[in-house]
Amino acid sequence: MNTPHAIFRYPRSRTIMVCYLIPAVTLGDFGFGICLLLSGKSVLGALFILAFPWLALLSGFGFLMCCPIRINQAGIAACCFGRTLKIIRWRNVAKVGKVRRWSVVARAYQNDFYVSERDRSLAHQPVVNLLGPIAFTEEVEGLRDLLDHVTAYAQRHHIAMTVQDQEAARKRAAQEGAGFLARALAAADEVRVTKL
For residue range 116-158, list pLDDT tens digits in order.
Answer: 998 765 555 678 888 889 999 999 999 999 999 999 999 999 9
pLDDT at 4: 62
Rg (CA), the chain: 20
Which of 61, 38, 60 is closest to 49 using CA atoms?
A: 38
Whole-angstrom distance, CA of residue 108 vs CA of residue 102: 6
Which of 29, 63, 66, 67 is closest to 49 using CA atoms?
A: 29
Query: Are residues 90 and 160 in contact, defined by beta-carbon separation less than 8 angstroms?
Result: no
pLDDT at 124: 59
Domain boundaries defined on the chain: 7-63, 71-193
Q: Is the pLDDT of residue 1 over 60?
A: no
Whole-angstrom distance, CA of residue 32 vs CA of residue 46: 10
pLDDT at 3: 44
> What residues have CB less than 8 Å from 98, skipping those under 6 apart?
111, 112, 113, 114, 161, 162, 163, 164, 193, 196
pLDDT at 136: 94
Looking at domain 71-193, which of 1.20.950, 1.10.287, 2.30.29, 3.30.43 is its CATH number?
2.30.29
pLDDT per position as a tens digit, 69-116: 999 999 999 998 889 999 999 999 999 999 988 877 778 889 999 999
pLDDT at 182: 74
Query: Are residues 13 and 144 in contact, defined by beta-carbon separation less than 8 angstroms?
Result: no
Provide the pLDDT confidence category of residue 12 given band limits of 50, 70 and 90: very high
